[in-house]
């Protein structure tokens, strides 16, 4: 799911830049956010994307910073 939403380039770059500190976080976010949340039944991917974008907009965050 992570690759489908973010694309191979982004995922490959984040995995290539792992280190001892970020490796645990990469595993957690992949299993929990992309596994449990993005694949959970009940909402379409479009709705999930809109909600994620809304949260980022409200908090002043940008996906480009990640």
DSSP symbols for 5-53: HH-HHHHHHHHHT--HHHHHHHHHHIIIIIIIITT-TTS-HHHHHHHHH
Q: What is the pTM of this model?
A: 0.62
Percent above pLDDT 70 for the chain: 91
| Predicted pLDDT of residue 65 | 54
Where are the domains positioned within the chain?
Answer: 2-65
- Mean pLDDT in residue range 4-32: 89
Instruction: Tell me: pLDDT of 12 over 90.
Output: yes
Pick from 18-27, 29-38, 57-66: least confident: 57-66
**Residue that wins the pLDDT comparison between 9 and 34:** 9
């Amino acid at each position: 799911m992570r690759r489908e939403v973010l694309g191979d380039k982004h995922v490959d770059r984040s995995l290539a830049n792992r280190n001892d500190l970020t490796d645990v976080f990469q595993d957690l976010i992949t299993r929990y956010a992309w596994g449990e949340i993005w694949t959970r039944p009940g909402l379409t991917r479009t709705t999930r994307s809109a909600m994620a974008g809304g949260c980022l907009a409200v908090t002043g965050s940008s996906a480009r910073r990640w």
